Chains A and B, each alone.
Chain A
């Protein structure tokens, strides 16, 4: 009896052992892609160990492509042109890339695995993007659903950005939410402030990152973000500047206005802030301060549905109403539009601007939606 048990165990164990050894050797052989060279813009070369995604391979070399979904293939932020070595297009990619993009060899960096040498093309601006560790020094309410988040930079200690750019903030896991995602928030502080940045974060229904900021993040905690990035910034010109931004969309405008104040811009600037009722207004004092500091700046808040007990003698109606009225009274051929906020509001205002002679090449915004 004992003999049989020992024999059975030995045979089964032996067969399992042999097969396991074969599998381990196979794994080493198959999953080993060796060292691969990534050539960027036909100029820089990186040596990375093959087997991981292009996105993480670049991250490991401190080159950060934008990503909101943490590499899961759902946000399409990490688009990148791969001229050589990419392999066949995966179904996860073809779902999010247009025909033209596929023809131009644009791929999703988080889905392409580095299996051999690659040659890619990315914007030079991406080299400026770094990963930062920062401490939360201030977390306060601006309105009932918007918080101001001030981060003090720890490593690196300084950030250099163009006013209007944004960063991607990573959340930390909290009860019921184990995934780490990153979300874009525009920098609200002036760019001569290099050791701290301000962010304005509005609570989004069912939002993973915004709920974390509003209900779980505490002052003193450390966070990670990457940046700066984005193509929203002040353009040269003599024409009038028309800003439209509501809610947390005010963030990049604050940064732009600080810049305009710093350079003592003589351009005429009008900022249309659309809100529903008085409880959505904030930073009014800061705007009044800017009106004093910038020679020709006017802040125009408009409430579309003030509450019955709101005392309000400012503009009323949807933001497109005072915007339209104003544009009709001015010369628009050289005017520039700067917008930030809800996609619905953006679409409506772009239409109003187009209708009044501000062509789309002079309207600027970050296309997040």
Chain B
């Protein structure tokens, strides 16, 4: 995309075009891992890392290999493979250096692979024709936006532990309602930057 500062894209990815609260991508691990702040932050940082890495790698693979060879139609399978490999590397790293986090994340660490936000960001990058710098900042910004959303949710849910919530709404019910309210709050950011 021409004529848009990468930093505007970065800012938009966090606030006005938040991958989770505006585009509703990446919901499943968001709903499940937002019970505790510590674990939520851990997952959020992991997702940010994966998003930064994969937006850079997928940009290079797309524009340096697929496009010159006119194999753009292979992008889904190639992006997914790159994402899977990145997550695998991340898992090895976390298992070695932070076993507590590894156990707490459980199955949601490998599930980052199929987090639709990750593939979504790579595909957006292609659709919107971002440059390399724009892509990397878009990926990192999206990750930070996702981290912001899950951190806020975890903070709210930890506080809610003390509260009396009507039986039918406990668990998924109230979480989805809060997500909706958060999404509405983020609409307040729209108009700060104009980006598609």
Contact = CB atoms under 8 A, between A and B. Distances in A.
B107 interface: no
Given A31-B92, A31-B96, A12 B65 contact: no
Interface string B70-92: 01001001100110010011001
A87 B99 contact: yes
Nearest to A32: B96
A3 B88 CA distance: 33
Contacts of B78: 11-12, 15
Nearest to A91: B103
Contact of A7 (B71, B77, B100): B71
B158 interface: no
Interface string A233-258: 00000000000000000000000000
B104 A30 contact: no
Nearest to B57: A19
Nearest to A51: B96
Interface residues of A, number: 21
A12 B77 CA distance: 8
Interface residues of B, number: 21
B61 A15 contact: yes
Contacts of B81: 12, 15-16, 19
A144 B71 CA distance: 74
B99 A12 contact: no
Contact of A11 (B65, B89, B93, B103): B65
Interface of B is mostly: helix
A15 B57 CA distance: 12
Contacts of A31: 92, 96
B103 A26 contact: no
A59 interface: no
Given A11-B66, A91-B103, A27 B61 contact: no
Interface of A is mostly: helix
A30 B74 contact: no
B69 interface: yes
Given A22-B85, A23-B85, A26-B89, A12 B103 contact: no
Given A30-B95, A88-B100, A19 B85 contact: yes
B74 A8 contact: yes
Contact of B88 (A16, A23, A87): A23
B85 A27 contact: no
Contacts of B96: 30-31, 115
Interface in B81-139: 81-82, 85, 88-89, 92-93, 95-96, 99-100, 103-104
Contacts of B61: 15
Contacts of B69: 7, 11
A231 interface: no
A121 interface: no
A115 B99 CA distance: 11
B77 A22 contact: no
A32 B104 CA distance: 22
A92 B99 CA distance: 12
Sorted nearest first, the 7 A-B pairs with minimum C-beta distance are A30-B92, A19-B85, A88-B100, A30-B96, A26-B89, A90-B103, A26-B92
23 contacts: A7-B69, A8-B71, A8-B74, A11-B69, A12-B78, A15-B61, A15-B65, A15-B81, A15-B82, A19-B81, A22-B89, A23-B88, A23-B89, A27-B92, A30-B93, A30-B95, A30-B96, A31-B96, A87-B99, A90-B103, A91-B104, A113-B99, A115-B96
Given A30-B92, A30-B93, 5 more contacts: A16-B81, A23-B85, A23-B89, A26-B92, A115-B96
Interface of A: 7-8, 11-12, 15-16, 19, 22-23, 26-27, 30-31, 87-92, 113, 115
